[in-house]
Amino acid sequence: MPPSQTSALAGVLQKDRAGVLQAWMQDQQAGSAARPDLMPASEVQDQASQLLDLLAAAVGSGEGRDGSSWQALRQFLASISTSRAAQGFSPVETAAFVLSVKQPLFTKLQQRAADPGQLPAELWAMTTLIDDLALQTTAVTLEARDRMIARQQEEMLELSTPVVKLWDGILALPMIGTLDSARTQVVMESLLQRIVQTGAEVAIIDITGVPTVDTLVAQHLIKTVTAARLMGADCIISGIRPQIAATIVHLGVDLTNVDTKATLADAFRLALRRTGHALGKSNGSERA
Protein backbone atom coordinates (compact mmCIF):
# COMPACT_ATOMS: atom_id res chain seq x y z
CA MET A 1 0.00 0.00 0.00
CA PRO A 2 1.57 3.38 -0.96
CA PRO A 3 2.28 5.51 2.12
CA SER A 4 0.54 8.51 0.60
CA GLN A 5 -2.84 6.78 0.88
CA THR A 6 -2.52 5.79 4.52
CA SER A 7 -0.75 8.94 5.66
CA ALA A 8 -4.12 10.61 6.13
CA LEU A 9 -5.23 7.64 8.21
CA ALA A 10 -2.02 7.85 10.26
CA GLY A 11 -2.77 11.54 10.88
CA VAL A 12 -6.31 10.81 12.03
CA LEU A 13 -5.16 8.01 14.33
CA GLN A 14 -2.60 10.33 15.89
CA LYS A 15 -4.61 13.51 16.26
CA ASP A 16 -8.15 12.20 16.72
CA ARG A 17 -7.45 9.06 18.69
CA ALA A 18 -9.71 10.10 21.61
CA GLY A 19 -12.52 11.18 19.28
CA VAL A 20 -12.35 7.99 17.23
CA LEU A 21 -12.34 5.84 20.36
CA GLN A 22 -15.33 7.64 21.82
CA ALA A 23 -17.37 7.45 18.62
CA TRP A 24 -16.38 3.80 18.19
CA MET A 25 -17.57 2.93 21.71
CA GLN A 26 -20.85 4.77 21.14
CA ASP A 27 -21.43 2.83 17.90
CA GLN A 28 -20.56 -0.37 19.74
CA GLN A 29 -23.12 0.20 22.43
CA ALA A 30 -25.80 1.14 19.94
CA GLY A 31 -24.99 -1.61 17.47
CA SER A 32 -25.69 -5.30 17.53
CA ALA A 33 -22.05 -6.16 18.20
CA ALA A 34 -22.38 -5.05 21.83
CA ARG A 35 -22.76 -7.96 24.23
CA PRO A 36 -22.74 -6.49 27.75
CA ASP A 37 -23.76 -9.95 28.97
CA LEU A 38 -20.41 -11.35 27.76
CA MET A 39 -18.01 -8.48 28.29
CA PRO A 40 -18.27 -5.28 30.37
CA ALA A 41 -18.02 -2.01 28.43
CA SER A 42 -14.79 -1.13 30.24
CA GLU A 43 -13.08 -4.23 28.87
CA VAL A 44 -14.36 -3.52 25.36
CA GLN A 45 -12.96 -0.01 25.64
CA ASP A 46 -9.67 -1.44 26.81
CA GLN A 47 -9.41 -3.70 23.78
CA ALA A 48 -10.49 -0.93 21.42
CA SER A 49 -7.94 1.47 22.89
CA GLN A 50 -5.10 -1.06 22.56
CA LEU A 51 -6.18 -1.89 19.03
CA LEU A 52 -6.11 1.80 18.05
CA ASP A 53 -2.64 2.24 19.57
CA LEU A 54 -1.26 -0.75 17.69
CA LEU A 55 -3.01 0.29 14.49
CA ALA A 56 -1.60 3.83 14.80
CA ALA A 57 1.87 2.44 15.40
CA ALA A 58 1.63 0.09 12.43
CA VAL A 59 0.19 2.64 10.00
CA GLY A 60 2.56 5.35 11.25
CA SER A 61 5.64 3.15 11.08
CA GLY A 62 5.75 3.17 7.30
CA GLU A 63 6.80 -0.49 7.47
CA GLY A 64 5.62 -3.17 5.05
CA ARG A 65 3.03 -5.70 6.22
CA ASP A 66 5.80 -7.99 7.47
CA GLY A 67 7.19 -5.31 9.79
CA SER A 68 7.31 -5.82 13.54
CA SER A 69 4.59 -3.24 14.25
CA TRP A 70 2.16 -5.09 11.94
CA GLN A 71 3.11 -8.37 13.57
CA ALA A 72 2.30 -6.91 16.99
CA LEU A 73 -1.09 -5.81 15.63
CA ARG A 74 -1.78 -9.27 14.21
CA GLN A 75 -0.80 -10.94 17.45
CA PHE A 76 -3.14 -8.68 19.38
CA LEU A 77 -5.99 -9.50 16.97
CA ALA A 78 -5.29 -13.20 17.41
CA SER A 79 -5.33 -12.85 21.18
CA ILE A 80 -8.62 -10.97 21.29
CA SER A 81 -10.34 -13.34 18.88
CA THR A 82 -9.20 -16.32 20.99
CA SER A 83 -10.26 -14.73 24.27
CA ARG A 84 -13.54 -13.51 22.81
CA ALA A 85 -14.31 -16.98 21.41
CA ALA A 86 -13.69 -18.39 24.90
CA GLN A 87 -16.04 -15.78 26.36
CA GLY A 88 -18.82 -16.87 24.01
CA PHE A 89 -18.63 -14.32 21.21
CA SER A 90 -19.41 -15.68 17.75
CA PRO A 91 -16.79 -15.13 15.02
CA VAL A 92 -19.24 -12.72 13.37
CA GLU A 93 -19.48 -10.61 16.54
CA THR A 94 -15.71 -10.41 16.87
CA ALA A 95 -15.33 -9.40 13.22
CA ALA A 96 -18.15 -6.85 13.66
CA PHE A 97 -16.28 -5.34 16.61
CA VAL A 98 -13.26 -4.67 14.39
CA LEU A 99 -15.34 -3.55 11.41
CA SER A 100 -17.29 -1.04 13.47
CA VAL A 101 -14.19 1.19 13.73
CA LYS A 102 -14.75 2.06 10.08
CA GLN A 103 -17.56 4.55 10.68
CA PRO A 104 -15.64 6.84 13.07
CA LEU A 105 -12.50 6.64 10.93
CA PHE A 106 -14.58 7.44 7.86
CA THR A 107 -16.05 10.54 9.52
CA LYS A 108 -12.70 11.80 10.76
CA LEU A 109 -10.98 11.23 7.42
CA GLN A 110 -13.76 13.21 5.78
CA GLN A 111 -13.44 16.07 8.29
CA ARG A 112 -9.70 16.27 7.93
CA ALA A 113 -9.50 15.82 4.18
CA ALA A 114 -7.07 18.40 2.88
CA ASP A 115 -7.54 17.47 -0.74
CA PRO A 116 -11.08 16.28 -1.63
CA GLY A 117 -9.65 14.62 -4.74
CA GLN A 118 -7.55 12.31 -2.55
CA LEU A 119 -10.41 11.38 -0.22
CA PRO A 120 -11.79 8.36 -2.14
CA ALA A 121 -8.32 6.77 -2.30
CA GLU A 122 -7.75 7.42 1.42
CA LEU A 123 -11.14 5.97 2.35
CA TRP A 124 -10.56 2.95 0.16
CA ALA A 125 -7.16 2.32 1.73
CA MET A 126 -8.70 2.52 5.22
CA THR A 127 -11.60 0.22 4.29
CA THR A 128 -9.42 -2.51 2.80
CA LEU A 129 -7.08 -2.32 5.79
CA ILE A 130 -9.88 -2.73 8.35
CA ASP A 131 -11.50 -5.50 6.28
CA ASP A 132 -8.19 -7.30 6.32
CA LEU A 133 -7.94 -7.02 10.09
CA ALA A 134 -11.51 -8.28 10.58
CA LEU A 135 -10.82 -11.24 8.28
CA GLN A 136 -7.80 -12.08 10.37
CA THR A 137 -9.89 -12.43 13.52
CA THR A 138 -12.14 -14.87 11.63
CA ALA A 139 -9.16 -16.83 10.31
CA VAL A 140 -7.78 -17.21 13.82
CA THR A 141 -11.14 -18.43 15.12
CA LEU A 142 -11.43 -20.96 12.29
CA GLU A 143 -7.92 -22.24 12.89
CA ALA A 144 -8.66 -22.72 16.57
CA ARG A 145 -11.86 -24.55 15.68
CA ASP A 146 -10.08 -26.83 13.19
CA ARG A 147 -7.55 -27.73 15.83
CA MET A 148 -10.33 -28.49 18.29
CA ILE A 149 -12.13 -30.74 15.78
CA ALA A 150 -8.92 -32.63 15.01
CA ARG A 151 -8.26 -33.13 18.71
CA GLN A 152 -11.81 -34.31 19.36
CA GLN A 153 -11.57 -36.80 16.50
CA GLU A 154 -8.43 -38.25 18.03
CA GLU A 155 -10.08 -38.38 21.42
CA MET A 156 -13.13 -40.10 19.97
CA LEU A 157 -10.97 -42.75 18.35
CA GLU A 158 -9.56 -43.54 21.78
CA LEU A 159 -12.85 -43.17 23.59
CA SER A 160 -14.50 -45.66 21.29
CA THR A 161 -12.35 -48.55 22.48
CA PRO A 162 -12.66 -48.90 26.23
CA VAL A 163 -12.10 -52.60 26.87
CA VAL A 164 -13.16 -53.15 30.49
CA LYS A 165 -12.53 -56.06 32.79
CA LEU A 166 -15.75 -57.28 34.38
CA TRP A 167 -14.34 -60.24 36.29
CA ASP A 168 -11.32 -62.52 36.28
CA GLY A 169 -11.15 -63.81 32.72
CA ILE A 170 -14.11 -61.77 31.50
CA LEU A 171 -13.69 -58.67 29.31
CA ALA A 172 -16.40 -56.36 27.98
CA LEU A 173 -16.30 -54.03 25.00
CA PRO A 174 -19.18 -51.56 25.00
CA MET A 175 -19.37 -50.23 21.45
CA ILE A 176 -20.96 -46.85 20.82
CA GLY A 177 -21.93 -44.96 17.69
CA THR A 178 -21.24 -45.52 14.04
CA LEU A 179 -19.03 -48.48 13.29
CA ASP A 180 -17.21 -47.18 10.25
CA SER A 181 -14.36 -49.38 9.16
CA ALA A 182 -11.42 -47.31 10.46
CA ARG A 183 -12.79 -47.24 14.00
CA THR A 184 -13.93 -50.84 13.98
CA GLN A 185 -10.41 -51.89 13.04
CA VAL A 186 -9.07 -50.09 16.13
CA VAL A 187 -11.78 -51.62 18.31
CA MET A 188 -11.07 -55.11 17.05
CA GLU A 189 -7.34 -54.81 17.55
CA SER A 190 -7.59 -53.40 21.05
CA LEU A 191 -9.95 -56.19 22.11
CA LEU A 192 -7.64 -58.89 20.74
CA GLN A 193 -4.69 -57.25 22.44
CA ARG A 194 -6.46 -57.16 25.80
CA ILE A 195 -7.42 -60.81 25.43
CA VAL A 196 -3.72 -61.64 25.11
CA GLN A 197 -2.68 -59.35 27.97
CA THR A 198 -5.28 -60.60 30.44
CA GLY A 199 -5.62 -64.18 29.26
CA ALA A 200 -9.36 -63.68 29.23
CA GLU A 201 -11.58 -66.64 28.42
CA VAL A 202 -14.72 -64.70 27.56
CA ALA A 203 -15.16 -61.35 25.82
CA ILE A 204 -18.53 -59.64 25.70
CA ILE A 205 -19.15 -57.22 22.82
CA ASP A 206 -22.06 -54.98 23.72
CA ILE A 207 -23.76 -53.23 20.78
CA THR A 208 -26.52 -51.44 22.72
CA GLY A 209 -25.01 -48.12 21.62
CA VAL A 210 -24.79 -49.00 17.93
CA PRO A 211 -27.80 -47.51 16.14
CA THR A 212 -27.56 -49.46 12.87
CA VAL A 213 -26.35 -53.00 12.34
CA ASP A 214 -25.99 -53.58 8.62
CA THR A 215 -24.02 -56.24 6.75
CA LEU A 216 -20.73 -54.34 7.13
CA VAL A 217 -21.12 -54.02 10.91
CA ALA A 218 -22.20 -57.68 11.08
CA GLN A 219 -19.15 -58.68 9.07
CA HIS A 220 -16.86 -56.77 11.44
CA LEU A 221 -18.50 -58.49 14.42
CA ILE A 222 -18.17 -61.95 12.86
CA LYS A 223 -14.50 -61.31 12.04
CA THR A 224 -13.77 -60.14 15.59
CA VAL A 225 -15.54 -63.17 17.09
CA THR A 226 -13.62 -65.51 14.76
CA ALA A 227 -10.27 -63.90 15.56
CA ALA A 228 -10.96 -64.05 19.32
CA ARG A 229 -11.91 -67.72 19.00
CA LEU A 230 -8.61 -68.45 17.24
CA MET A 231 -6.91 -67.01 20.29
CA GLY A 232 -8.86 -69.27 22.59
CA ALA A 233 -11.47 -66.80 23.85
CA ASP A 234 -15.24 -67.07 23.50
CA CYS A 235 -17.19 -64.00 22.40
CA ILE A 236 -20.71 -63.11 23.41
CA ILE A 237 -22.54 -60.34 21.58
CA SER A 238 -25.02 -58.51 23.78
CA GLY A 239 -27.36 -55.57 23.42
CA ILE A 240 -29.35 -57.00 20.51
CA ARG A 241 -32.56 -54.97 20.62
CA PRO A 242 -35.79 -56.34 19.06
CA GLN A 243 -35.62 -54.08 16.00
CA ILE A 244 -31.97 -55.03 15.40
CA ALA A 245 -32.83 -58.73 15.70
CA ALA A 246 -35.62 -58.37 13.13
CA THR A 247 -33.33 -56.50 10.75
CA ILE A 248 -30.50 -59.03 11.03
CA VAL A 249 -32.95 -61.83 10.16
CA HIS A 250 -34.19 -59.94 7.07
CA LEU A 251 -30.67 -59.19 5.97
CA GLY A 252 -29.94 -62.89 6.10
CA VAL A 253 -26.87 -62.52 8.29
CA ASP A 254 -26.06 -65.82 9.98
CA LEU A 255 -25.15 -65.31 13.63
CA THR A 256 -26.12 -68.80 14.74
CA ASN A 257 -22.49 -69.68 15.48
CA VAL A 258 -22.18 -66.68 17.77
CA ASP A 259 -23.56 -66.50 21.29
CA THR A 260 -25.91 -63.54 21.50
CA LYS A 261 -27.87 -62.08 24.38
CA ALA A 262 -30.40 -59.26 24.65
CA THR A 263 -28.69 -57.49 27.54
CA LEU A 264 -25.21 -57.11 28.96
CA ALA A 265 -26.50 -58.57 32.25
CA ASP A 266 -27.58 -61.79 30.51
CA ALA A 267 -24.24 -62.00 28.73
CA PHE A 268 -22.36 -61.45 32.00
CA ARG A 269 -24.34 -64.21 33.71
CA LEU A 270 -23.49 -66.60 30.85
CA ALA A 271 -19.85 -65.56 30.97
CA LEU A 272 -19.66 -66.21 34.72
CA ARG A 273 -21.15 -69.67 34.23
CA ARG A 274 -18.67 -70.42 31.43
CA THR A 275 -15.74 -69.45 33.62
CA GLY A 276 -17.01 -71.58 36.50
CA HIS A 277 -18.29 -68.81 38.74
CA ALA A 278 -21.60 -68.96 40.53
CA LEU A 279 -23.79 -66.04 41.49
CA GLY A 280 -25.76 -66.14 44.71
CA LYS A 281 -27.57 -63.80 47.05
CA SER A 282 -26.13 -63.21 50.48
CA ASN A 283 -28.33 -63.11 53.57
CA GLY A 284 -29.79 -59.72 54.33
CA SER A 285 -28.08 -59.66 57.76
CA GLU A 286 -24.61 -59.81 56.22
CA ARG A 287 -25.19 -56.64 54.27
CA ALA A 288 -23.63 -53.51 55.59
Contact 205, 237 (CB under 8 A): yes
When asked if residue 243 is in the footprint of other proteins (CB under 8 A), the reply is yes
Hey, is 281 helix, strand or coil?
A: coil
DSSP state of 235: E
Contact between 270 and other proteins per CB under 8 A: no
User: Quick count: other Cβ atoms within 10 Å of Cβ 235?
Assistant: 25
Measured from the CB atom, the residue of 16 and 206 that comes closer to other proteins is 206
Q: Which of 79, 193, 197, 219 binds other proteins (CB under 8 A)?
A: 219
Say how far apart CA 29 and CA 259 lie, in whole Å: 67
Site for other proteins in 85-124 (CB under 8 A): none
Contacting other proteins within 123-182 (CB under 8 A): 178, 180-181
β-pairing verdict for 202-209 and 234-238: parallel
Question: Contact at 8 Å (CB) between 160 and 187?
Answer: yes
Closer to other proteins by CB, 29 or 212: give it.
Answer: 212
Stretch touching other proteins by CB under 8 A, among 3-11, 209-217, 228-236, 274-282 = 209-217
| Per-residue CA distances from 77 to 21, 71, 82, 175 (Å) | 17, 10, 9, 43
Cβ 234 vs Cβ 201: under 8 Å: yes
CB of 179 to other proteins, least distance (A): 10
Strands 170-176 and 234-238, by their bridges, are unpaired
CB-side neighbour CA atoms (13 Å) of 138: 13
Q: Does 283 bind other proteins (CB under 8 A)?
A: no
Range in contact with other proteins (rule: CB under 8 A) among 74-82, 115-123, 166-174, 237-245: 237-245
Among the residue ranges 70-78, 123-131, 212-220, 275-283, the one whose residues contact other proteins (CB under 8 A): 212-220
Q: What's the closest the beta carbon of residue 250 comes to other proteins, in angstroms? A: 5
Q: How far is the CB of 99 from other proteins (least distance, A)?
A: 34
The answer to whether 281 contacts other proteins (rule: CB under 8 A) is no
List residues near other proteins by CB under 8 A.
Answer: 178, 180-181, 211-216, 218-219, 242-244, 246-247, 250-253
